[in-house]
Amino acid sequence: MDLIYWIDLLGTLVFAISGVLAAVDKKFDLVGAFILGMVTAVGGGTLRDVLIGTTPVGWMKDLSYFVIILAALPICYFFKKAILKLRKGIFLFDTIGIGLFTILGLQKTLDVGLSPAIAVLMGIVSATFGGVIRDVLSNEVPLIFRKEIYASACLMGGLIFLLLEYFLKNASINIVLSILVVIVIRYLAVRKNWALPFNPN
Amino acid sequence: MDLIYWIDLLGTLVFAISGVLAAVDKKFDLVGAFILGMVTAVGGGTLRDVLIGTTPVGWMKDLSYFVIILAALPICYFFKKAILKLRKGIFLFDTIGIGLFTILGLQKTLDVGLSPAIAVLMGIVSATFGGVIRDVLSNEVPLIFRKEIYASACLMGGLIFLLLEYFLKNASINIVLSILVVIVIRYLAVRKNWALPFNPN
Amino acid sequence: MDLIYWIDLLGTLVFAISGVLAAVDKKFDLVGAFILGMVTAVGGGTLRDVLIGTTPVGWMKDLSYFVIILAALPICYFFKKAILKLRKGIFLFDTIGIGLFTILGLQKTLDVGLSPAIAVLMGIVSATFGGVIRDVLSNEVPLIFRKEIYASACLMGGLIFLLLEYFLKNASINIVLSILVVIVIRYLAVRKNWALPFNPN
């Protein structure tokens, strides 16, 4: 499935750019910018691979991911302003990437024989923990803890994917439909300012 | 050993509740409360499993742990006040859990063929690093670094367990005796306000 | 290669001392000092081992590392002043250790069949991430993100090592030459106050 591979690389690039830009905000140097780009892009999938025991972790076996992340440095250096202007377009790519990361992480977890519930959890981890590690390394409370951004969208996308797999046997269509669910829910969440407060009294 | 399994689940629940309540203090949302409950409950054992190479990590293979952690959310939501009143009783369950986590982590490390010294260290990691990860994710200096709470109790419990294993061959009795050691030392530590300052001049 | 083993242990001791002294600065207690010494000394190699899948991680299989790290506690307690006076000599041992950690990490990564680019990256991770984890646990932004210290020296040392391996087949000489490169570059970097700012406008 070539298209999925390219979406995966594109999602990696968008995540890496968001990490590098966070490093610029923090006035980190070149080393810090590279590390923050790297962990944002591959941190979630790396954590998943380590937890389910499929090591060496995925990005080590295909250099394309590493090259893509390196490329984020000159891209941010020369096109920072253009990137900030394109936020809306990037939001779309970002959400497509998150959706795909969720489904790929879920599938990889099922492949090692773990249960669907754990697979959905690992899908969400794949999509969200790059950002959590980025925030921890930047000495910030992870954004995802304070403000629902996309964990719920990943959860719904993952559940829909499992449902589709049960009834339909066409993996490509199932992936596309599940990613669409992630995009729609996330779009609605941002648009309607959805929140999930947890305030026991 | 059914009793041990149930104590393990109970310890997991108590740890998860402490993580969720920490999230409430920090005004995290539902996603943050779940993640903090989860890492507090299984973070120590997960780190141990990853370091000694027994992946997929333990809680992935038995959904009971996951269900127990999910259950901590409604429990905290509806019974927060009652929980805070019951602190003394929870302190006891918490200490039993810590003792058991230490011994189970120690045993698991011995089982993969590592040395007793490393096994004791991994026992302590199993019992304490859930709290360390919780504090790091909450952007706090880990409590255990500033104030001796239970690392020493785990250390003594682990050493006693090794000693008992050497002389007695009854695993159940050894576990119960070792956990009793952890409880007594921790009770004394809190009661007498023990501290382990490290101030070279 | 006995000499390499002893340099490895010496590097571990120097790293552990730097972690323990950071804990003293932060007024951590004995438990905190031990943990910070431990993660500084073995954190980088541990992360590398986990990512490339060679678990149980290295220091668990040879107790010398654990004993060396424990020894850092009384050494810091009784000789703190002398250590602070000897900073220049320690800087040298530290740099030798970093150079060796880079090459050993690189070699271990090649040994599991990963590509040279990933091997260099894992060499740098081996040498630098102990410090990153120490800073994260101390609730500080990692020093290496703000100020180039030795990531570039590790990078050059790693590249030189690969080059030498290609032409020369004498591992010992290659290791010594590569470590010399790390020492020279780091010396120049500190002396000339090199920096690697990353400020896209």
Q: List the chains bordering chain A where 3 or more Cβ pairs fall under 8 Å.
A: B, C
Dihedral sign for Cα B122, B126, B132, B133, please.
positive
Instruction: Compute CA distances A154 → A39, A185, A195, B170, whole Å.
Output: 20, 9, 15, 48
Q: Mutate which of A20, A25, A31 to test chain C, going by most C C-beta atoms within 10 A?
A: A31
Q: Using a CB-CB distance cutoff of 8 angstroms, which residues of chain A are in contact with residue C151? A: 31
Residue A136 has pLDDT above 90, yes or no: yes
Give the separation between CA A146 and CA A160, rounded to whole angstroms: 26
**Taking CB atoms and an 8 Å limit, are A197 and B77 in contact across chains?**
no
Q: Mutate which of B121, B145, B148 to test chain C, going by most C C-beta atoms within 10 A?
A: B145
A140-151: pLDDT as tens digits? 999 888 877 788
Q: Which of C140, C145, C195 sits opposite A35 (nearest CB)?
A: C145
Per-residue model confidence (pLDDT) at position B1: 60
Q: Which of B76, B78, B139 sits opposite A141 (nearest CB)?
A: B139
Confidence of residue B121 (pLDDT cuts 50, 70, 90): very high
Q: Are A183 and A157 spatial neighbours (Cβ–Cβ below 8 Å)? A: no
Taking the CA of residue A53 and the nearest CA in chain C, the distance in Å comes to 8
pTM: 0.94
Residues of B with CB under 8 A from a CB of A: 23-24, 26-33, 35-36, 46, 50, 55-57, 60-61, 63, 66, 73, 76-78, 80, 136-139
Q: Which of A32, A46, A77 sits opposite C146 (nearest CB)?
A: A32
Give the separation between CA A71 and CA C10, rounded to whole angstroms: 38
Residues of C with CB under 8 A from a CB of B: 23-24, 26-33, 35-36, 46, 50, 55-57, 60-61, 63, 66, 73, 76-78, 80, 136-139
Q: Give the start-to-end residue ranges of the domains of chain C.
A: 2-191
Instruction: Compute CA distances B121 → B15, B40, B100, B134, B135, whole Å.
Output: 20, 18, 14, 20, 20
Q: List the chains bordering chain C where 3 or more Cβ pairs fall under 8 Å.
A: A, B
Diameter of chain C measured on Cα atoms: 51
Give the separation between CA B196 and CA B177, rounded to whole angstroms: 25
Q: Is A50 helix (H, G, I), strand (E, B) or coil?
A: helix
Q: Mutate which of C31, C34, C35, C66 to test chain B, going by most B C-beta atoms within 10 A?
A: C31
Q: Nearest to residue C134, comparing CAs of C35, C53, C68, C62?
A: C35
Structure tokens at B103: 């011994």
Each residue's pLDDT expressed in tens, for chain C with a length of 201 residues: 678 888 889 889 999 999 999 999 899 999 999 999 999 999 999 999 999 999 899 899 999 999 999 999 999 999 988 888 887 777 888 888 899 999 999 999 999 999 999 999 999 999 999 999 999 999 999 988 887 778 889 999 999 999 999 888 787 889 889 999 998 998 888 888 888 888 887
